[in-house]
Structure 1
Amino acid sequence: MTALSLALSACGGDSSATKSSGDNQTSGETALFGEQPLEFSFYSNYDFASPIGYGNDVSTKWLKENKKLNLVEIGSNGNASQKFGTMVASNDLPDVIMLDRGSTDYTTMQKNGMLVPLDDYYKKYPVLQKLIDPETFNMLKAEDGHIYVIPNWFDSAQNQYKNVNTGWTVNQEIYADLGKPELKTFDDLYSYLKQVKEKFPNVVPLEPGIAMNGVNMLYKLIYAGNGGNRTIWNIGDVPTFPNTETHTLESIFNDPAYLDAFKYMSQLTREGLVSPDMFTQKQEQVQEKLNSGRIAVTAISNITGLGNTANDILRAKDPNAGYDFIPFLYKSGIDPTTVNPHTYGTLGWNVVVITKKAKQPEQIFQFYDWWASEEGQRINAFGPPGLLYDKVDENGAPIDNEKAKTIKPEEKANLKIGLFNPLGSPLYYKITHFKNAQDPDHQNWGMAASEYFAKFAKLNTDQFNNMKLDPKSDAGIKEQQIKQIWQEANAKMIFAKNDEELEAVYKKLQADVMKAGYEDILAEKTKLWQSNLAQMKP
């Protein structure tokens, strides 16, 4: 952030970037996407993001040859914060950036005039505007009233095919070998993992994936199953408990499910039933374990994407192999109908912005608008026409051609369909849903899993967006301190030698965050929540 602030003070007055961008905005008629060559640089502001090798998969190769699009990928090199700060400090921004909506990186760039306003483009090219709900548009507006972002993996209140990418899955071969015992409660899970460890010593009994916000998806799912109407959303950088009756954020320590979840996960960890690398492993390592079938049960973020690849590989060798999704597990005594850990929202996950360094901002917007269309989303999900389909049905879903019916799973996996996915829209879910419905024997596993998990998504979290505090403010400084305290305590509790040690850490955690201003953070974020609720009203 220091580098970013220094850079802005150095380059904020550079009018050349602003001027050149203004010259590039709509003046007269503009060639439609695909009519003229278009090249732009793209940077994803995440540690885990890495270039896919644009042009090496069937979809991007088709885009290069048929739509004259060339994408210059910029990697984060595993340190997005440093990379972003360097780009800003040198005033050498890429044309397009994908980043968290409402993040300090976004708001700082927006307030310093570094981004292209997209209002006129939304009006001129209507695909995105028609797909995005009016209430969502209101939430996407910056303080100056303009829209600078294109939401990624957004949804629509009218869309019944929600995108949910996380849930419990089991390795079908191992599950069958152990007699397919009942897996409903956490007690069932514990007994099953003990059997796995005993009979399959080279298999990871339970895989939690990579750590995010100091914990991983496994802990979040355990928490959500330890009491009715809890969600994985509660466990963020600074965990909170939203009271939806009073619209106030309350202390997570008032919820007994919070401590119970740590005790259960710590027990699994102590007994060697969970991957010991949960805080250090990379996504590639998790994917390799999945691909080789060396995991018995998963509770992984983005299992729909990682599992889709793994299933293609495993089923190429054995049609009975792969992973199967199961209902969300819960603590004995809890009403399973109240266990709805997932949330949904129309704003999506992150956003795409076009910087004023872009020479062709309107053409770049055209691409995203086209990619959100039925044609673009079909290529996203099923590859380009002429490969596995030549025609589509009345719902826009591809009709398998002869090659699609005879292609071997490993050959299809090598096509890397879906690898390039710079934007998701409701049409993606809709087209894929109808494709799965017409061809259940060859359905997209990831989307089938997503639709299954989506049944457990009951809370709309649009109301909780844009609630990040300014890190330079008093509350923002406190939040960063509390986040650090929390992340250190999370690991200590999960790896505690016994419950007594865990409870001691838990007690100290509560005292430390209270001393650091946790209640002040709850009060500040409650104000933002209530402001969101007011903004969302028609």
Structure 2
Amino acid sequence: MSMRSKAVKKSVLILIACLFQAAAVLAGCESAPKSPETSSAESSQPSQAGTPIDHSKPLTVTVFNNAANYQGEQTGWYGKLVKDKFNITLNILAPQVAGDQLYKTRSAAGDLGDLLIIDNSQLEELIPAGLIMDITDKVKNTKYLSQYVDNHFKPFNAAFDKVNPSGKIYALPTFVADTSPTTFSEEIPYSSPIMPWDYYKGVGAPKLNNLTDLLNVLKSMQAKYPKTPDGKPIVPITLWKDWDNNGGMENVRWLSNWYGYEQPDGITTLQLNAKGDMVPLIDDNSMYKKILQFYFTANQMGLVDPDSASQDWNKVAEKLTNKQVLLLWYSWQRGFYNSIERGKNGDGNAAVPIADTRIIQNSDAYYGNGRVFAIGSKAKDPARIMEFLDWIVSPEGMRYYTNGFEGFNYEKTADGKFRLTEAGQTAFQKNTPVPAQYGGGGYQDGQSKINSMIMSDFVKDPDTGEFYNNNYWSSTIEANKTALTIDWQKTYNATNATDYYLKNNMIDIVPNINTSLGTDSSDIKNKRSQISNYVKNTSWKMVFAKSQAEFDQLWAKMKTDVAGLGWNDVLAVDTAKAQKIVKMRAEAKAGK
């Protein structure tokens, strides 16, 4: 179970391509892309072990994928790319679309699929059940994956010692960064206050000392900017329910990070801080309650989107693309609207620090972040699946996933590095049409529906010496010296948001921990489910309560009712999990 803030939540991966390009540099242009660099899938290619791999027969790979927000065949440009290179068609099964019962049904039948993208806790269940293939030798015989075996894959798999005492490699963790276990490379924390810079400046850019100041500035912005230029209503805060699966409101969970408390994935009853202090969600002084109170007060002030209780994430994404939302809190949300061209006019979403915050931020996911790629024990043609996985982490595969097509999204510079094409900032936002010979359809529509990676974009491209993440290309940094960036840097006397928070002692960076925290007994699993549903439902009622008295009554009733559902039993299990996190963080800091 990952303790890393970035993308631990399965639904957060919904727009991982957007995350990679979060700082206003989403790419795409009208020029024709280069064709894929390597093999026709019609011929047999030798594997790294020397055994020929026959691509002549079409292969449909069933991908059971917790990260996917799409179910069905991968189509569009990425689908054509995989078909042309490997003669493989990806058929994606997505619990987020089909429901959580899909996992239970297919695992009970003894066959989840050919390629699996599952949570750490599920891996721990599936290894002893015999539903995961031992890929130790297969990984060692690859060209690219083998480079990461000793420093990343072995240590991760060894952590599952209860079900994997011999330290075999059963799975490849997701979004592995090749930096260090205590490095945080990103320019902005995963969750922090973000607002449209021009609107914030338009109301005088008042200093924000606390959440009350934030609400007041949102009220001022709402009054001055009620609609978009084309007449769409602007809302200060918008919420959505369909990501709530970690014991409470997901929108509350991530704002708790602003004040130093995180709720690790899989822990549903408590939050902890960088010192290791643990506070139950239902404690009267919990950060969870403080953020619920913030949203309640915001709603009383008319600042919460009335669509919040009924809309799903897709509707929220549409509003972000239209600049209809004033408060953002995920770093990658900036990518829905920001572009270099808009930045030149001072237009775009930017960090707006609040003085009394102290953000908790997990370091880069050196060992991964809570999910894994694995091969099902009944997989058809595992050699071809492994060849595909090896390509995914190759320079070519990484470039396609993170940055699209050379010539379409980016181009080489004279010094051999890459730069985004001048017209290539809006392929994602505008769903730019892709030429028919490369699969046709819209660029965003055709992106990889796998929606996850083995190695993250915080790995360096060997050909350029720069991260695959195009935010950190030297060309992007230079191009992104826009009016918005320069004005922000001048205002805060910092290079970027992370720099500001570090300089002002407003952030605690804790080591990323990626391990198994154990599986629940059936009794705890049942109690956890009942409690989580109750807390989620009551939390939404509290946000939209008619009065402070009703808010307080709902809170008091929830505290009493969850006790009767077995709260203390689940809390004891979560406390043990959190203690393991605290211990491993201390060891990571000590270099153990």
If the length of structure 1 is used for normalisation, what is the TM-score? 0.76
Q: What residue in structure 2 maps to residue 17 of structure 1? A: none
CA distance in 2, matches of 1:311, 1:203: 17
CA distance in 1, matches of 2:383, 2:497: 33
Q: What residue in structure 2 maps to residue 470 of structure 1? A: 520
Over residues 308-362 of structure 1, what are the superposed CA-to-partner deviations in whole Å (9 max), with x where a residue is unaligned? 24335xx7789537532214536xxx3x4x3335565433142222112312223
Q: Which moved more, 1:91-100 or 1:282-291?
A: 91-100
* 1:359 paired residue among 359, 371, 380: 380
Alignment check: 8 A CA contact 2:66 2:96 kept:
no
1:83 maps to a residue whose letter is L
Alignment check: 8 A CA contact 1:204 1:274 kept:
yes
Is 1:325 matched with 2:347? no
Is 1:419 matched with 2:447? yes
Matched residue of 1:121: which SS? helix
Alignment check: 8 A CA contact 1:237 1:483 kept:
no
Alignment check: 8 A CA contact 1:100 1:350 kept:
yes
Q: What residue in structure 2 maps to residue 458 of structure 1? A: 509
Matched residue of 1:462: which SS? coil
CA distance in 1, matches of 2:278, 2:326: 37
Is 1:372 matched with 2:400? no
Is 1:188 matched with 2:213? yes
Q: What residue in structure 2 maps to residue 267 of structure 1? A: 297
Query: What pairs with 1:56-455 in structure 2 (closer than 5 Å)?
Result: 56-57=76-77, 59-76=78-95, 78-88=97-107, 93-103=112-122, 106-125=123-142, 126-129=146-149, 132=152, 135-139=155-159, 143-145=163-165, 146-156=168-178, 158=180, 160=183, 162=185, 165-183=190-208, 185-201=210-226, 202-210=233-241, 211-213=243-245, 215-225=248-258, 227=259, 230-233=260-263, 238-242=268-272, 249-252=278-281, 253=283, 255-299=285-329, 301=330, 303-304=331-332, 306-312=333-339, 320=345, 323-329=348-354, 334=356, 336=357, 338-340=358-360, 345=365, 346-389=367-410, 391=412, 397-399=417-419, 404-407=421-424, 409=426, 413-414=431-432, 416=443, 419-420=447-448, 421-428=451-458, 430-432=467-469, 435-440=472-477, 442=479
Over residues 487-519 of structure 1, what are the superposed CA-to-partner deviations in whole Å (9 max), with x where a residue is unaligned? 232122222222222222222222333343333
Specify whether residues 69 and 140 from structure 1 end up closer, same or farther in structure 2 by C-alpha distance, changes over 3 A only. Answer: farther
Specify whether residues 75 and 218 from structure 1 end up closer, same or farther in structure 2 by C-alpha distance, changes over 3 A only. Answer: closer
1:470 maps to a residue whose letter is D
Specify whether residues 60 and 391 from structure 1 end up closer, same or farther in structure 2 by C-alpha distance, changes over 3 A only. Answer: farther
Specify whether residues 256 and 89 from structure 1 end up closer, same or farther in structure 2 by C-alpha distance, changes over 3 A only. Answer: closer
Matched residue of 1:205: which SS? coil
CA distance in 2, matches of 1:410, 1:451: 27
Specify whether residues 127 and 60 from structure 1 end up closer, same or farther in structure 2 by C-alpha distance, changes over 3 A only. Answer: farther
Specify whether residues 265 and 154 from structure 1 end up closer, same or farther in structure 2 by C-alpha distance, changes over 3 A only. Answer: same
Specify whether residues 282 and 193 from structure 1 end up closer, same or farther in structure 2 by C-alpha distance, changes over 3 A only. Answer: same
Over residues 424-470 of structure 1, what are the superposed CA-to-partner deviations in whole Å (9 max), with x where a residue is unaligned? 5245452326753333255699xx9997799746123517x423542
Specify whether residues 388 and 219 from structure 1 end up closer, same or farther in structure 2 by C-alpha distance, changes over 3 A only. Answer: closer
CA distance in 1, matches of 2:499, 2:87: 38
Specify whether residues 454 and 284 from structure 1 end up closer, same or farther in structure 2 by C-alpha distance, changes over 3 A only. Answer: farther
CA distance in 2, matches of 1:233, 1:63: 37
Greater percentage in helix: 1
Q: What residue in structure 1 maps to residue 486 of structure 2? A: none
How far the C-alpha of 1:286 sits from its partner, in A, is 0.9
How far the C-alpha of 1:78 sits from its partner, in A, is 2.5
Alignment check: 8 A CA contact 2:253 2:288 kept:
no
Q: What residue in structure 2 maps to residue 13 of structure 1? A: none
CA distance in 1, matches of 2:470, 2:498: 8
1:154 maps to a residue whose letter is V
CA distance in 1, matches of 2:136, 2:481: 35
CA distance in 2, matches of 1:449, 1:35: 51
CA distance in 1, matches of 2:274, 2:323: 41
Q: Which runs of 5+ in 2 are unaligned?
A: 1-46, 227-232, 435-442, 460-466, 483-494
Q: Which runs of 5+ in 1 are unaligned?
A: 1-25
Alignment check: 8 A CA contact 1:172 1:320 kept:
no
Specify whether residues 236 and 501 from structure 1 end up closer, same or farther in structure 2 by C-alpha distance, changes over 3 A only. Answer: farther
Q: What residue in structure 2 maps to residue 22 of structure 1? A: none
How far the C-alpha of 1:383 sits from its partner, in A, is 2.1
Q: What residue in structure 2 maps to residue 521 of structure 1? A: 570
Matched residue of 2:194: which SS? strand
How far the C-alpha of 1:42 sits from its partner, in A, is 1.5
How far the C-alpha of 1:267 sits from its partner, in A, is 0.7
CA distance in 1, matches of 2:422, 2:265: 44
Q: What residue in structure 1 maps to residue 16 of structure 2? A: none
CA RMSD of aligned residues (A): 4.1
Matched residue of 1:143: which SS? coil
CA distance in 1, matches of 2:300, 2:571: 33
Structure with more contact order per residue of length (Cα contacts < 8 Å, sep ≥ 6): 2
Over residues 51-104 of structure 1, what are the superposed CA-to-partner deviations in whole Å (9 max), with x where a residue is unaligned? 4863413x543343345443223344733323334444555642112222213x
Matched residue of 2:159: which SS? helix
Matched residue of 1:311: which SS? coil
Q: What residue in structure 2 maps to residue 10 of structure 1? A: none
Specify whether residues 216 and 268 from structure 1 end up closer, same or farther in structure 2 by C-alpha distance, changes over 3 A only. Answer: same
How far the C-alpha of 1:292 sits from its partner, in A, is 1.4
* 1:485 paired residue among 526, 534, 556: 534
If the length of structure 2 is used for normalisation, what is the TM-score? 0.69
